[in-house]
């Protein structure tokens, strides 16, 4: 049963800023990329500020831009380009320019090839600006003829793609901030929001269907009704609170305190983030890719996700991903657990808020 979670004492909310960037503490080595060496003053930036600069440069560079990411150690924005003129534009803006081989158009074409020729359950793919490649990941369920087919398609893409394996199994984390319950299923509350002046909260779409009632305890009285749920394709849902249930704009840190959430933002590759969920509580990690596609099987394919190194387990679904006081994402699914690690995917909060016409609060 695809259901999400609902919080008891405090509604979970999180924050962050999203832009297409990848991995912190990275080395600038790549078989198909080279650093620009001309001396220019680099701007010292926070991850959110780097994301804002990256969005601006994406518009300025057009087809000559090929993605960007945040180097947390240097506190700098690294921008991939395919021409020296574009590199100069990046330097003048205070970023670090890196001339690479693959254009965004070529990598987008590679994504389409995967979608057309290798739509295999248990796979995911996302553009990695650090390697300037499309990284395709197959979980442990992909084997035999399907694995052979996947390898052939990826190899056919040449230097534009690479194939990796993960020991776990990609699946939605059904079964966190605070726990929410519906019909025997448990998920986690993501963030408290306001729509049309009324209190609501958002969680994962795979947690339940429109019309389902949610409580803050197993078998407890309903505190809200799910008024919209989108899954697959997207993975977010909106629940309207009943009565006078408390709905603070904060995330439960499970140590007796809470993180206040003031706004929503986009993720940036390399951004340090924190997840709160009702099964595994609070864990940290970093954003490794944006616009990821995951095939959970049974026709459940979700696109446009944030990929991270933060662990999660069943029951954490719908829980908050934040960066300081900024809401960034809602827990969707992934592989592994909080003992072995794995890849975890999150629905961007900004897209959910825009779709629902809601705001953090």
pLDDT tens-digit readout, 148-160: 999 999 999 999 9
Considering the domain 104-165 in this protein, what is its CATH number?
3.30.300.50
Contact present, 191 and 7 (Cβ < 8 Å): no
Catalytic residue check, 249: no
Instruction: For the chain, give every residue range classified as CATH 3.30.300.50.
Output: 104-165
Residue 125, pLDDT above cutoff 80? yes
Catalytic residue check, 283: no
Per-residue pLDDT tens digits for 227-262: 999 999 999 999 999 988 889 999 999 999 999 999
Catalytic residue check, 206: yes
Grade residue 173 by pLDDT with cuts at 50, 70 and 90: confident
Interval 27-54 mean pLDDT: 68
> 33-100, which class in CATH?
alpha beta
Per-residue pLDDT tens digits for 178-222: 688 887 689 999 999 999 999 999 999 999 999 999 998 888 899
Residue 33, pLDDT above cutoff 60? no
- pLDDT score of 178: 66
Contact present, 18 and 328 (Cβ < 8 Å): yes
Q: Which residue among 317, 320, 332, 335 is the active-site one?
A: 317
Q: Which residue among 71, 235, 300, 325 is the active-site one?
A: 235
Please state which architecture CATH assigns to domain 172-360.
Answer: Beta Barrel (2.40)
Instruction: For the chain, give every residue range classified as CATH 2.40.10.10.
Output: 172-360
Interval 88-92 mean pLDDT: 96
- Closest by CA to 100, choosing from 21, 23, 53, 35, is 35
Give yes or no for a cis peptide into 185 (omega within 30° of 0).
no
Interval 137-151 mean pLDDT: 97
Got the DSSP string for 66-120?
A: EEEEEETTTTEEEEEESSHHHHHHHHHTTPEEEEES--HHHHHHHHHHHHHH---
Q: Which residue among 3, 206, 247, 283 is the active-site one?
A: 206
Burial state string for 262-295 with b = 16 or more CB within 10 A and e = fewer than 16: ebbbbbbbbbbbbbbbbbbbbbebbbbbbbbbbb
- pLDDT score of 20: 32
Alpha carbon distance 108, 241 (integer Å):
41
What pTM does this model have?
0.83
Interval 46-50 mean pLDDT: 91
Interval 96-118 mean pLDDT: 95
Q: Is 106 exposed, middle or buried (0-12, 13-18, 19+ CB in 10 A)?
A: middle
Specify the residue for token string 């809200």. Answer: 224
């Amino acid at each position: 049963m695809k259901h999400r979670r609902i919080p008891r004492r405090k509604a979970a909310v999180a924050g962050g800023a999203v832009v297409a960037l990848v991995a912190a503490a990275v080395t600038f080595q790549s078989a198909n990329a080279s650093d620009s060496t001309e001396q220019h003053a680099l701007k010292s930036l926070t991850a959110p500020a780097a994301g804002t600069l990256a969005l601006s440069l994406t518009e300025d560079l057009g087809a000559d831009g090929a993605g960007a990411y945040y180097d947390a150690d240097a506190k700098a924005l690294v921008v991939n380009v395919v021409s020296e003129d574009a590199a100069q534009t990046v330097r003048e803006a205070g970023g670090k320019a890196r001339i690479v081989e693959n254009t965004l158009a070529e990598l987008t074409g590679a994504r389409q090839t995967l979608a057309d020729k290798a739509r295999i359950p248990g796979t995911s793919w996302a553009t990695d600006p650090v390697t300037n490649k499309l990284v395709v990941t197959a979980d442990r369920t992909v084997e035999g003829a399907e694995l052979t087919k996947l390898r052939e398609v990826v190899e056919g893409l040449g230097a534009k793609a690479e194939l990796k394996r993960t020991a776990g199994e990609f699946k939605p984390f059904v079964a966190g901030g605070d726990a929410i319950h519906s019909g025997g299923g448990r998920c986690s509350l993501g963030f408290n929001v306001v729509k049309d002046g009324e209190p609501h909260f958002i969680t994962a779409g795979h947690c339940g269907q429109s019309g389902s009632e949610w409580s803050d305890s197993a078998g407890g009285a309903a505190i809200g009704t799910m008024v919209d749920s989108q899954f697959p394709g997207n993975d977010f849902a909106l629940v309207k609170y009943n009565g006078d249930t408390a709905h603070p704009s904060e995330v439960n840190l499970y140590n007796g305190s809470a993180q206040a959430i003031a706004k929503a933002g986009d993720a940036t590759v390399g951004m340090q983030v924190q997840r709160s969920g009702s099964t595994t509580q609070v864990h940290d990690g970093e954003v490794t890719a944006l616009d990821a596609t995951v095939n959970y099987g049974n026709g459940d394919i979700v696109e446009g996700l944030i990929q991270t190194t933060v662990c999660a387990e069943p029951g954490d679904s719908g829980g908050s991903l934040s960066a300081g006081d900024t809401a960034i994402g809602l827990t969707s699914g992934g592989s592994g657990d909080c003992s072995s690690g794995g890849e975890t995917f999150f629905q961007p909060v900004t897209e959910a808020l825009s779709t629902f016409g809601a705001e953090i609060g």
